[in-house]
Amino acid sequence: MSPHETREFINAVEYTVQLTSVVAGGARWRTAYARARRVAERLANAAARAKDVVDVRAVAGASHDGQVLTPERVCFGAANSGHGTGVDPAKLNRYLDPDRERALASLAEANAAARARRQADFDRRQAIGCSNPAGLGPGIARPCRCAYCRPQEHLEVRGETRETWAGGGRCLCGRLSNPPAFGCRPHRGQQLVVLDGDPPELARLAAVIARAHTTDRTSPPPGRDEPGLPPPGR
Ligand SMILES: [Zn+2]
Ligand SMILES: [Zn+2]
């Protein structure tokens, strides 16, 4: 189980306490501000040390009727991440439990991988004119006969043997094409791209296509005005 899939992380809740206090002044006008900042720091420290608390950030500032006028991030001794200030660079402004930090990093990594996969899926579908390049769910997908939308159908049409596929077949886009290893004119040379999480039929189809390319490298030759086959395995 990844760190971001634990119950501790999934069921965690962010909770903000708004607490307003009045601090007695001293002989100089700055004294009360300095005292108030120390109170804010102590409160943040107490929160960071409280049982089960895994992440603390605090914002404080002079207020009127409970509304903070110029909110500032509180730097406190128990903080272990975030940033310090020019006044006290040793004190940071966020406490982050190491387990939560790992879970946040793992979540960010998973999100980035999902984004990259979505983009790769979009790119490969767009390359062959799929009607569903934006990855619509199966329930709302537009009708499309491309290899990514109907991998099983492509497998059946190509079959497993040269005799079957040489007699007729489909381009990755779904149009009839003969021989199918070459694809229809606008998609000639397009490669089937298999991604993590694809149905097994796609990997099988990729193997069948690779075999067809190998068997058919010399016959039939591409026309003089048409690009040749890309080298296998590219
Ligand atoms: Zn499609
Ligand atoms: Zn095509």
What pTM, to 2 d.p., does this model score? 0.70
Determine the pLDDT at residue 127: 94
Ligand 1 center from residue 137 Cα (angstroms): 12
210 vs 77, more confident: 77
* 182 CA from centroid of ligand 2 (Å): 9
**Ligand 2 centre from 87 Cα, in Å?**
65
126: CA distance to ligand 1 center in Å? Answer: 9
Nearest to 104 by CA among 59, 54, 57: 54
The more confident residue out of 157 and 181 is 157
Which ligand has an atom closest to residue 131 CA?
1
How far is ligand 2, taken at its centre, from the CA of residue 139, in Å? 25
Q: Is the pLDDT score of 36 beyond 90?
A: yes
What average pLDDT does range 121-147 have in this prediction?
84
Q: What is the whole-number distance in angstroms between the Cα of residue 143 and the centre of ligand 1?
A: 8
Question: Is there a contact between 141 and 134 (Cβ–Cβ < 8 Å)?
Answer: no
Give me 170's structure tokens: 């489909």
For residue 68, pLDDT beyond 90: yes
Residue 21 is predicted with a pLDDT of 96
Ligand showing the shortest atom-to-Cα distance for residue 128:
2
Q: What is the mean pLDDT of residues 16-22?
A: 96
Q: Which ligand is nearest to the CA of 130?
A: 1
3-state SS track over the chain? CCHHHCHHHHCCCCCCCCCCCCCCCCCCCCHHHHHHHHHHHHHHHHHHHCCCCCEECCEECCEECCEECCCEECCECCCCECCCCCCCCCCECEEECHHHHHHHHHHHHHHHHHHHHHHHHHHHHHHCCCCCCCCCCHHHCCCCCCCCCCHHHHHHHHCCCHHHHHCCEECCCCCEECCCCCCCHHHCCCCCCCCCCCCHHHHHHHHHHHHHHHHCCCCCCCCCCCCCCCCCCC
